[in-house]
Each structure stands twice: as structure tokens, then as C-alpha cells.
Amino acid sequence: MFSRIKFLTATATLLACVPGAFAASTVELTVKGLITPSACTPSLSKNGVIDHGKISVSDLAPDRHTIIGNDVLSLSVLCDASTLIALRAIDNRAGTAIGTTDNKYGIGLVDGKKLGGYFLTWSNSLADNVPAQSIGSEDQGQTWYREWVWYPNTYMSAADPADLSAPIAMQKLDVELGIQTIIDRTDGLDLSNEVPIDGSATLEVVYL
């Protein structure tokens, strides 16, 4: 929000400094936003760390990808009051996930080649301790649909199972966050030296 305000203000200032910029017409600058009285704090079990330890190259398949872990973390969001929220996952290693679809998060490169990736999924969602249905939005909360795979940059929230058209306001959200990590086929990777698995994502609360 603040970056957008600064950008628009700078643009308006630049136009104002150009001689004759407003000679023929005018343009309106609108600065919008919403200050919410409620604050929400997300948290992850295990400090949000999935550690696969050391993995032998001999345990990885040369001709297909290998699943090296199916893990679950507890994801919780606690708000000061009942609030309409969503969560967005930002891939801090964007562009390094294998495959042609955008449903995975990256875990880094080895000699410029993609090492693998991981999927995020939602299950057993609870809104204020009541079972809820996970929903997703690809248009920043304009429309919603049933979803359990958490794509990068997609909004995720919880809805009444009888009405998936929009999220419900809640003070507490609890989700089982599934993490499946895969390594690409090794016949195209140089694994002669130790290679770090370097996945990172930022989970952001979005106020609707």
C-alpha cells in the first residue's frame, strides 16, 4: 500500500514539473486505502522450518523426480477481532521450480539448473474452531473457488462449506499446511558436490 502511494505521488510530482503538462487537460490522482482496527498475526509450527537433512544421491532417481518428504506444519492466524482475511504465499525462489506449471515453489539452482521444488496444500481448515472449506482466489479476492493446493501468489482463505463464494470473517484460523518436496531427475544435474536445498516462501496476511 505504501509503495503504491509513494509511486503515484512521485508520478504526479513529475508531471507537475513538466512545463505545459496540464495546459490542455487535467488528470486526477486518487490515493486510496483502508486502515483496519484489527491486526492479525500468522504463525507456523517448528518455526516454519522443514529440514530434510543430508540425502544421498544414490537415493534419488536418475530418470524421474524423487519425493524426499511429505511434511505437515500447523499454520495459524490470530486476529484481535473477527476479520475478513486471506493468506498469500510469495515464492522467494521464484523461477527455480521444475516443471512448466506454476503450482510449485523453487528450492534453488545447481549450476544454473533447477534442483526441484515443493507443493503447498491446505487441509482440515478451522475458522474459530469450526470446520471450514479452504478456498482460493486468483484475482486478489474478487472471485473465489474451492481449492486446496496453494499456488504461489494465490489468495487462500476459509469459507462456510455451504457457501464458497466468499471467505468468512474469523478471529482465528487454523490450517494443516502440507509440504511435499521433490528433487528433479538426477541424470541432468551435477551432484558431484554437496548442494543445498534452499526453499523459502513468505506467508502474508491480506486484509479483505
Contacts of 140 (CB under 8 A, 6+ apart): 155
Q: What is the mean pLDDT of the chain?
A: 87
Q: How far, in Å, CA of 116 to CA of 105, rounded?
A: 9
Instruction: Give the model confidence (pLDDT) of 88-135 as tens digits.
Output: 999 999 999 999 778 999 999 999 999 999 999 999 999 999 999 999
Q: How many CA atoms lie within 13 A of 99 on its CB side?
A: 17
* Residue 188 DSSP code: G
Residue 28 has pLDDT above 60, yes or no: yes
Domain boundaries 38-207, corresponding CATH code: 2.60.40.1090
- The neighbour count for residue 32, using CB atoms within 10 Å, is 8
pLDDT bracket for residue 23 (50, 70, 90)? low
Give Cα 152 distance to the centre of its chain.
Answer: 5
Domain residue spans in the chain?
1-33, 38-207
pLDDT bracket for residue 19 (50, 70, 90)? very low
